[in-house]
A and B are shown apart, each in its own frame.
Chain A
């Protein structure tokens, strides 16, 4: 059971816009901690996709963007491309009992 909740799967056609939600609680996202997103291609390690306030590591296109409201955050992907098909994970900090890094359960994006 992941601390952050994501939908198991989303899909979209090439060129479309899709969003992936990430729901937390008052001890993580709701407490104002940033949400970070990772992309994991099959058989590879997760790659940091977006962090902080819409900051993208070098090489990540601006088709990827994030938003946050209350205890939830969302990753938006515009102009969907075949190479975007992957698993996506959200991550934040939790100030609960002991405080530590927490992840979502992951969302499989299928490009139709």
Chain B
């Protein structure tokens, strides 16, 4: 059974860079035609798609965050990562990694449990 697990610091200082890693288990990140993505949820608010990456390294970022987002992938470790620079209080959220839909007819079918990231000095 495919499982995803987020890891990384739970506290980031304002203006610094948020870094999270998602480890995929129960399957290979290179198998099938899936992108791997990040979605966040500020406390008490809705879901926001951050971006996604294919195992080859090709990426797609939400235009609203594009200038601050970098994603990378390490197929040898079955991991992909998120970096969000110049964070502010508005970036405090639960960050989820998820398997992206292969087409617009599909949904995000596998999610990590989420990692709460706070922004404070």
Residue numbers of A with Cβ under 8 A of B are 2, 33-34, 36-38, 44-48, 51-53, 57, 89, 91-93, 97-98, 100-106
Contact = CB atoms under 8 A, between A and B. Distances in A.
Most buried by B among A45, A98, A100: A45
A48 B108 contact: yes
B36 interface: no
Contacts of B111: 45-47
A102 B49 contact: yes
Interface of B: 37, 39, 45-49, 60, 62-63, 96, 100-101, 104-109, 111-114
The 9 closest A-B pairs by CB, nearest first: A36-B107, A51-B107, A93-B104, A105-B46, A45-B111, A103-B47, A101-B49, A106-B46, A48-B107
Contacts of A44: 113
A53 B53 CA distance: 26
Contact of B112 (A2, A45, A47): A45
